[in-house]
Amino acid sequence: MAVNASLGAGSKPAPRPMSPEERKVIFASSLGTVFEWYDFYLYGSLAAIIAKQFFSGLDAGSAFIFALLAFAAGFIVRPFGALVFGRLGDMIGRKYTFLVTILIMGMSTFIVGILPNYASIGVAAPVILIALRMLQGLALGGEYGGAATYVAEHAPHGKRGAYTSWIQTTATLGLFLSLLVILGVRTTMGEETFSDWGWRIPFLVSIVLLGVSVWIRMQLSESPAFQKMKAEGKVSKAPLKESFGQWKNLKIVILALLGLTAGQAVVWYSGQFYSLFFLTQQLKVDAVTANLMIAAALLIATPFFVVFGSLSDRIGRKPIIMLGCILAVVTYFPAFKALTEAANPDLAAAQARNKVVIVADPKECSFQFNPTGTSKFTSSCDVAKQVLAAGSVSYDTEEAPAGTTATVRIGSTEIPAFSLKGLSPEDAKAKDSAFKKSVAEELAKDGYPTKADPAKMNKVMMIVILTYLVLLVTMVYGPIAAMLVELFPTRIRYTSMSLPYHIGNGWFGGLLPTMSFAIVAQTGNMYNGLWYPIIIAGMTAVIGILFVPETKDRDIYAAD
413-426 pLDDT, tens digit per residue, is 899 998 888 888 88
Neighbour-count burial of 426, counting CB atoms closer than 10 A to its CB (0-12 exposed, 13-18 middle, 19+ buried): exposed
Domains detected in the chain: 18-344+454-547 (1.20.1250.20), 349-445 (3.40.30)
In DSSP terms, 360 is beta-bridged to 399
Return the amino acid letter for 214: V
3-state secondary structure 57-116: CCCHHHHHHHHHHHHHHHHHCHHHHHHHHHHHHHHHCHHHHHHHHHHHHHHHHHHHHHCC
Specify the pLDDT at position 324: 97
If you write DSSP's letter for every residue of 141-194 in order, what string do you get?
Answer: HHHHHHHHHHHHHHSPTT-HHHHHHHHHHHHHHHHHHHHHHHHHHHHHH-HHHI
Residue 101 and residue 36 in contact, taking contact as beta carbons nearer than 8 Å: yes
Return the amino acid letter for 174: G
Q: Is the pLDDT of residue 19 over 70?
A: no
Least-confidence region, from 187-201, 294-308, 497-511: 497-511
CA 463/CA 105 separation, integer angstroms:
32
If you write DSSP's letter for every residue of 386-435 in order, what string do you get?
Answer: HHHHHTT---EEEE--TTPPPEEEETTEEEE----TT--HHHHHHHHHHH
Least-confidence region, from 135-144, 311-320, 370-379, 470-479: 370-379
E strand or H helix at 18: none
The whole-number average pLDDT for the span 273-287 is 89
E strand or H helix at 359: strand 356-360
The whole-number average pLDDT for the span 28-49 is 74
Q: Is the pLDDT of residue 510 over 90?
A: no
Residue count of the chain? 560
Q: Is the pLDDT of residue 545 over 90?
A: yes
- Is the model more confident about 493 or about 345? 345
Specify the pLDDT at position 482: 92
N-to-C CA span, the chain: 20
Which span out of 53-57, 102-106, 191-195 was modeled with the highest average pLDDT? 191-195
The whole-number average pLDDT for the span 236-259 is 85
74-121 pLDDT, tens digit per residue, is 778 888 888 888 777 777 766 677 778 888 888 888 998 999 988 888
Specify the pLDDT at position 372: 40
Residue 69 and residue 371 in contact, taking contact as beta carbons nearer than 8 Å: yes
Specify the pLDDT at position 303: 93
Specify the pLDDT at position 211: 85
Average pLDDT over all residues of the chain? 83
CA 529/CA 367 separation, integer angstroms:
15
Q: Is the pLDDT of residue 276 over 70?
A: yes
Residue 32 and residue 217 in contact, taking contact as beta carbons nearer than 8 Å: yes
